[in-house]
Amino acid sequence: MRPDLAACYGQERLPRYTSYPTAPHFAAAIGPGQYAEWLKAIPQHATTSLYLHVPFCRAMCWYCGCNTSVVRREDPVAVYASALRCEIELVSRQIDRRIKVEHIHFGGGTPTIMAPETFVDLMGAVRQSFFVPPSAEIAIEIDPRTLTGQMIHALAFGGVNRASLGVQSFDPVVQRAINRVQGFEETAAATTGLRRAGISGINFDLIYGLPHQTVASCLDTVSRCVELRPDRFSVFGYAHVPSFKKHQRKIDEAALPDSLERLRQSEAIAGALKQAGYIQIGLDHFALPDDAMAVAFREGRLRRNFQGYTTDESNVLLGFGASAIGRLPQGYVQNEVGTRAYEQAIASGSLATVKGYALTDDDRLRAEIIERIMCDFGVDLDPVCARHGLSAETMLKSSSRLQDLISDGIVELDGTSLAVADDSRFLVRSVAAAFDAHLDGSKQLHSRAV
């Protein structure tokens, strides 16, 4: 850790680079008609991934940056699930064949807020419209506080084989400050129940930089999580953007740690997880050595998409639900953000696409460079640029930001091959940003670099 660099670069607001260009650059020029044309043009032998967004929770966690809302009754969830089934049919009708699906991810919100029978019906609709082989990874995000035994059985019946459990912190002071009180026993019961049902892939999500959080409380949380031995950890820094997420205004800003303390918490968590036998993967993931993600990282096959780091090698991602984003070879598409507007669009028989982005050749080049930096902490620009018909020297000279990073010792350059210095890996987003031609117009919309 270099505190001088944390102080210099840590306050800058930067994308997490789960896509390039990032969502703030999507525009209404891309609508349902364009999306339909892109779907029809999906290559014959392509495989795809699916993302299904469920924007409901039983209670609002004040740190949350997701598109979600609180519901108390079952009816709104059932109506929404019906819209999802209709959208799945609408999209598959454009493709006009049962395309192969290798990865499915249910995100939210809390996807397990669905009634068990509703989830089973939804998975049935997916399998009817797409070819889902037995080897496919089917993952779902879970709030352990509301997970029932019936839902666990429905998940197993539907073919789910990976579950991501939100933990964040076990410190009761932090939990009260973020409106998410969750005991270790609830998390342990959910983990045990999932494994007994045959859902063996278990991920835990942790957050640092929360109000009243300390290095000691972070280490205590890690220690208790390691007792349950999940396969993977995702460790994210809290993004405080109360101007965009009004419920975050309930968090006391004076209780938030500064950049240097956030860095200490991040490094303490990373050190504890590595000591417990986990491999650090990219910026914010950790996995056991024999986990598929750790293998992909070692072999240089790690990818990055809207769910973060992934083993998914498909270049087609179809998004379903309110605010869901899809990626196709031609560009990105995003659905209506509001639940009601989304449901109305689907009920009218139209795709719910409201905006998107058509990729240019320059975007594709920069996207590949940024992905490799985020996944591998470095990239050899020569072969990447050659694939896109540009010289590496031209790309190197185009970024004054990169020259500053080299001067500060954050980036080491050997010919056309660059690497993030070992003691500066926490600034990998800053390095990726050196190749972001769209950054200046969206900085205020992103989280701090550290």
Per-residue pLDDT tens for 384-420?
A: 999 999 999 999 988 888 999 999 999 999 999 999 9
Q: How many residues does the chain have?
A: 450
- Asked if residue 14 lies in contact with residue 22, where contact means CB atoms within 8 angstroms, the answer is no
Q: In whole angstroms, what is the distance from residue 264 CA to residue 225 CA?
A: 19
- Specify burial of residue 78 (Cβ count, 10 A radius: 0-12, 13-18, 19+): middle
Q: In whole angstroms, what is the distance from residue 164 CA to residue 166 CA?
A: 7
More confidently predicted of 123 and 15: 123
For the record, the structure tokens of 325 come out as 């984003």
Q: What is the mean pLDDT of residues 357-375?
A: 97
pLDDT at 353 over 70: yes
pLDDT at 226 over 90: yes
Confidence band of 259 (pLDDT split at 50, 70, 90): confident
Residue type, 150: Q
Question: What's the confidence (pLDDT) of residue 407?
Answer: 93
Q: What is the DSSP string of 33-82?
A: HHHHHHHHTS-TT-EEEEEEEE-EESS--TT--SS-EE--SSHHHHHHHH
- Specify burial of residue 444 (Cβ count, 10 A radius: 0-12, 13-18, 19+): exposed
pLDDT at 224 over 80: yes
* Cis status, amide bond into 257, omega within 30 of 0: no
CA dihedral sign of residues 198, 201, 207, 208 = positive
Q: In whole angstroms, what is the distance from residue 386 CA to residue 73 CA?
A: 56
pLDDT at 441 over 60: no
For residue 330, give Cα distances in angstroms to 59, 177, 178, 261, 313.
38, 43, 40, 42, 17
Question: What's the confidence (pLDDT) of residue 96?
Answer: 82
Per-residue pLDDT tens over the stretch 278-313: 999 998 999 999 999 999 999 999 999 998 999 999
Q: In whole angstroms, what is the distance from residue 169 CA to residue 397 CA?
A: 44
Please report, for the chain, how many H helices and E strands are present, in that order: 16, 21
Question: What's the confidence (pLDDT) of residue 288?
Answer: 98
- Asked if residue 427 lies in contact with residue 1, where contact means CB atoms within 8 angstroms, the answer is no
Q: In whole angstroms, what is the distance from residue 317 CA to residue 312 CA?
A: 10
pLDDT at 243 over 90: no
Q: What is the mean pLDDT of residues 90-107?
A: 95
Tell me the three state secondary structure of residue 155. helix
pLDDT at 444 over 60: no
Confidence band of 445 (pLDDT split at 50, 70, 90): low
| Distant-in-sequence, close-in-space partners of 259: CB < 8 Å, separation ≥ 6 | 6, 7, 10, 11, 448, 450
Question: What's the confidence (pLDDT) of residue 6?
Answer: 73
Considering only 63-72, 187-196, 317-326, which range has the smallest mean pLDDT?
A: 63-72
Tell me the three state secondary structure of residue 331. strand
More confidently predicted of 369 and 47: 369
pLDDT at 337 over 80: yes
Residue type, 79: V
Q: What is the mean pLDDT of residues 341-357?
A: 98
Domains of the chain, each with CATH number or no CATH: 15-320 (3.80.30.20), 360-448 (1.10.10.920)
Question: What's the confidence (pLDDT) of residue 173?
Answer: 98
